[in-house]
Structure 1
Amino acid sequence: MKIEERMYTKSSYDEIRFYQVPKALMENPIYKDISMSAKLVYAILRDRQDLSIKNNWLDKNGKIYFYFDCRKLSELCNISTSTLNRYKKELINAELLLSKRQGQGKPNIMYVLKPETIENALISHNDYTRVAETTTQDYSKRLHNDTKLNDTKSIIQNYINVVAPNGDNIEFFNSIFNYYFDTYKKYMNKEHPLLSKKYVKQIVDNIDEFSDEYEIFKVADWESIIDMYFNSNLDCDRNMIHFAQEEILYNRASNCKLI
């Protein structure tokens, strides 16, 4: 096709399908740190809602959801799954994408969230800050006053309640952490070292992303991965921080024939 034939005219303007990026993502300062690639992924996911409507993927409150197929979407965007997950995390952190776990053996469902307009952003930010500060203060007091929280497992469990991506994920992550600590004690003959909140959140995020990418949603499968890790000949301290690295998870899950 010649160049002139590819130019738009008034009559042909609506003939081509487009991925639409909301103006708020470009104009609202609260989204200035989101990469352009992540904004394009948002537009693609927003477009996928048409398929959700066709399939009647509505929750009990009438909200549109979809299933995040990491591999198909990475092929469409011509990027790796790890890169796509990085953009996905950007959108989740910006509260433009919401992930909800349905339960063991079922994939997460995702919701595309409307971007904040400039007018609403300040109100939402103030509300969020007030709630976050109150929650942090209450949690700090509870952690300080509860003398029973002096063992690693109890502290981790309480940290998970704060940092887990979704409230309904708590039982899933508690099971994984508890099994890991029990296995660590069995093999190492000592308690697992105390983990800071920063590293617990890092571990939770890595496991959550890995679960979504390779559809490993059963606690029993994660127990197999943990067992495979401790039975390997890796020269390491077996700290959970090391276990939760993407390359380590991939190799152990592959050995278990889960991917």
Structure 2
Amino acid sequence: MSAKLQLVKFHSDIIEVVEAEVVENDFVSIAANKSGIVNEKGYFIVVKRVCENLKLHYETQFKKLKSNPTYKTQLVEVSTKGGKQKAFCIPLSKLYAWLYTINPKRVKPEVREKLLKYQEECQDVLYNHFIQKATMHCPASDNLNTRIAGYKGQLALRKKEIERLRFELLACKEKSREDILLQHSILDLAGSLARQQEELQEWAFHLEYVAKRVKDIAKSTEHHLKAFEKYKNAKSNAKAQKQRAKKEMQWERYLLKQKSKKDKSTN
């Protein structure tokens, strides 16, 4: 038997909700029990429609939900205008758990605010739509069975509110844990930066020492070059003086020979 598909307006979106209950792991459609209270287990959210509303990647969410048995996912056959179709669903009671696994920072900016509204309000709105209408007047009824059913419905609402608050607490703890991890990462980066600064300072001192040594070596080399140039000039001057002295001696010997020849010819 096909399950009944209902459309519920949430702000500007439409959420598809299936009325069904599990009997031996199969779905059958339900309307209401004799007390007028609809079975709590009978409401399931069509995942694909929520993904479309929030512009989430359906295949990613499908794999995430399917891989976690606590979500109690079901494939429901529903009647639509186009005929019977199968819809991948999760129980209404698991809606908060799923929505709070979606990080608002990782969705598209234009749907970030909408996701926050879904996380804060969606399950309450749906629960009020299906449950509270049937139970709000029951405690005042004279019918004992009806009053008991009404109290059960209100207890279910309180239970869901507790569950919502629990998931909000878990989300806060997760955010706190992320903040602590971020602080630790910042401290690690600060420590790493400080160590790198120390290393750079040591390298700066080393380079300064090397630059000073190079400067000293350059001065010493310049001094030696000047000394070598002076020595070279002095050697060149000494050689020139020696050559001049040699020429003068040769010239003196020549003059002496000429004088000696002249003296002999005179005698």
- TM-score when scaled to structure 2? 0.26
Higher strand share: 2
Q: Which has the larger radius of gyration?
A: 2
Where relative contact order (Cα < 8 A, 6+ residues apart) is larger, the structure is 1
Higher helix share: 2
- TM-score when scaled to structure 1? 0.26
